[in-house]
A and B are shown apart, each in its own frame.
Chain A
């Protein structure tokens, strides 16, 4: 059976060059970065080399990069750590309604700790309006966190415009760039942000690798107390293989970013155009043009995402869905609901995310596999039966 992996937002594969760079630090070069002997030296060199490469990917300085264990950790660290460091100036925080849970739930925790949180709404494409951010700012706003792109619907946010609005207010601006760093050009200076989260497993690096870029001079309260690792900002023995892998992935992404987008965008565009042509009542979710290169997301009406996902899996196609049934919490995607989609349509969410291993044949295979799957589930859907009856009645 053909196997087509189209879930690169969940995680990308790890490139062989990345694995190669990691292996010595799992084998002979096992030293602890903090050790003062030769073993420590080689580990330290690897970490500092990776720091340079990650800084280079996003246009920052090496000393501004703090390694973490995931995008989630970076977001938690940024939102809670920056808010805690600024709390003498105020206790108001602004986030968008479609942030990743690592930001939204961190904001919820801050609420429990006595902070106030405002959620900026999005439009039907999932776009955050900089004017709405401006309207939400108050004198006591200390932190704004808006994602660079949403991985569920692929929409890229106007971060530069939002950052300039926030800067005027004096609040700190953090962006979750987990979906963009290593995928599209990201430059912290050009974006005008104060802090930025990224994760290696979104751009062909290893899982368990992440970083928070924090502009020099911006204060943060450490999350993990302990030793002097990461400039005292993130204690704990450095995960040298993961960090080395992240560095290599950053280096490869930096060199190849334009070519990658050029490879992925046609696959995305073909699926975005053809799937709604092949199957009736399929809605494209997210922005039509301001979207991630390899990202095609839809809602298929009258049926549910998990069932589609399982049937696609039986054809060797791996995708994800924002339906309530696929989430452990059994809640429909907060992103789709924030974009104004009704629950029953959000239930039919399906997300195809292309990576470097994919080809146009994969798109054709999906276009072939999807119609019978949708037809099969619609034939057993009471919602579809009702829709058909309504249509007949209307005529």
Chain B
């Protein structure tokens, strides 16, 4: 067995918030199967808060545990707070990851960030098109 601690094992064996959100407000995808791991995060946003978060993950035990932890950490946070999540903070919450897994599998925060970016981009273009309508 890879040397995962109890917390990582718990999130791997019982991953929280797995799945897809229908009509998400933002989607973020990172990684590719060549390097081993791939994550897609889906978010719902309400009043500038992440009201729901789900994900799908292709990857090892660490990748799955990281996704689960990120989803837990992100839920209920403001977009600004959620954007401050880093791989280091995620690893800290998981009470450590094996050193060789630290980089490749620790993509959750990045995927979440991308989902928030996606949401904000959509909001931006919505605002623009609304402006256009007013004119």
Whether the pair A325, B37 counts as a contact (CB closer than 8 A) is yes
Residue A330 lies at the interface, judged by CB distance under 8 Å to chain B: yes
Whether the pair B56, A380 counts as a contact (CB closer than 8 A) is yes
B58 to chain A, nearest CB (A): 5
Whether the pair B61, A310 counts as a contact (CB closer than 8 A) is yes
A383 to B31, CA, bound (A): 12
A318 to B8, CA, bound (A): 20
Please name all residues of chain B whose beta carbon is closer than 8 Å to the beta carbon of A304 when the two chains form the complex: 36-37, 58-60, 63
B23 to chain A, nearest CB (A): 15
Whether the pair B18, A379 counts as a contact (CB closer than 8 A) is yes
What are the interface flags for B40-61 relative to A under an 8 Å C-beta threshold, 1 for contact and 0 otherwise?
1000000000000001111111
A4 to chain B, nearest CB (A): 15
Question: B62: nearest residue on chain A (CB-CB)?
Answer: A325
B40 to chain A, nearest CB (A): 4
Whether the pair B18, A380 counts as a contact (CB closer than 8 A) is yes
Whether the pair B64, A380 counts as a contact (CB closer than 8 A) is yes
Whether the pair A383, B36 counts as a contact (CB closer than 8 A) is no
Known: A307-B59, A307-B60, A314-B13. A324 touches B36 (CB 8 A): yes
What are the interface flags for B6-50 relative to A under an 8 Å C-beta threshold, 1 for contact and 0 otherwise?
000000110100111000000001000111111110000000000
Known: A347-B36, A380-B15. 17 other contacts (CB 8 A): A303-B58, A304-B59, A304-B60, A307-B12, A307-B64, A310-B1, A313-B1, A324-B36, A325-B59, A330-B36, A343-B34, A344-B58, A347-B33, A380-B19, A382-B38, A382-B39, A382-B58
Residue B110 lies at the interface, judged by CB distance under 8 Å to chain A: no
B51-80 contacts to A (CB < 8 Å):
55-64
Say which residue of B29, B38, B55, B60 sits within 8 Å of A306 (CB atoms).
B60
Please name all residues of chain A whose beta carbon is closer than 8 Å to the beta carbon of B29 when the two chains form the complex: 382
Provide the main secondary structure of the chain B interface. Answer: mixed
A193 to B63, CA, bound (A): 46
Which of B29, B39, B57, B62 counts the most A-chain CB atoms under 10 A from its CB? B57
Please name all residues of chain B whose beta carbon is closer than 8 Å to the beta carbon of A382 when the two chains form the complex: 29, 38-40, 56-58
Question: B31: nearest residue on chain A (CB-CB)?
Answer: A382
B59 to chain A, nearest CB (A): 5
Residue A141 lies at the interface, judged by CB distance under 8 Å to chain B: no
Residue A302 lies at the interface, judged by CB distance under 8 Å to chain B: yes
Residue B130 lies at the interface, judged by CB distance under 8 Å to chain A: no
What are 17 A-B interface contacts by the 8 Å CB criterion? A304-B37, A304-B58, A306-B61, A310-B61, A324-B35, A325-B63, A328-B100, A330-B104, A344-B34, A347-B36, A380-B55, A381-B58, A382-B56, A382-B57, A383-B58, A385-B20, A385-B56
Please name all residues of chain A whose beta carbon is closer than 8 Å to the beta carbon of B38 when the two chains form the complex: 382-383
Count of chain A residues with a beta carbon within 8 Å of a chain B beta carbon: 25
A311-330 contacts to B (CB < 8 Å):
313-314, 323-326, 328, 330
A314 to B9, CA, bound (A): 11
Please name all residues of chain A whose beta carbon is closer than 8 Å to the beta carbon of B33 when the two chains form the complex: 343-344, 347, 383
Whether the pair B100, A330 counts as a contact (CB closer than 8 A) is yes
A260 to chain B, nearest CB (A): 29
A306 to B57, CA, bound (A): 13
A99 to B83, CA, bound (A): 46
Please name all residues of chain B whose beta carbon is closer than 8 Å to the beta carbon of A384 when the two chains form the complex: 58
Whether the pair B2, A306 counts as a contact (CB closer than 8 A) is yes
Please name all residues of chain B whose beta carbon is closer than 8 Å to the beta carbon of A303 when the two chains form the complex: 58
B6 to chain A, nearest CB (A): 13
Say which residue of B18, B19, B36, B39 sits within 8 Å of A325 (CB atoms).
B36
B37 to chain A, nearest CB (A): 7
Whether the pair B56, A325 counts as a contact (CB closer than 8 A) is no
B84 to chain A, nearest CB (A): 25
Whether the pair A323, B2 counts as a contact (CB closer than 8 A) is no
A383 to chain B, nearest CB (A): 5
Whether the pair B100, A302 counts as a contact (CB closer than 8 A) is no
Residue B106 lies at the interface, judged by CB distance under 8 Å to chain A: no
Please name all residues of chain B whose beta carbon is closer than 8 Å to the beta carbon of A383 when the two chains form the complex: 33, 38, 58
A277 to B12, CA, bound (A): 28
Say which residue of B39, B58, B63, B101 sits within 8 Å of A302 (CB atoms).
B58
Question: B40: nearest residue on chain A (CB-CB)?
Answer: A382
Question: A314: nearest residue on chain B (CB-CB)?
Answer: B13
Please name all residues of chain A whose beta carbon is closer than 8 Å to the beta carbon of B35 when the two chains form the complex: 324, 330
Please name all residues of chain A whose beta carbon is closer than 8 Å to the beta carbon of B113 when the two chains form the complex: none
Known: A325-B37, A347-B36. A381 touches B57 (CB 8 A): yes
B88 to chain A, nearest CB (A): 19
Question: A379: nearest residue on chain B (CB-CB)?
Answer: B18
Please name all residues of chain B whose beta carbon is closer than 8 Å to the beta carbon of A343 when the two chains form the complex: 33-34
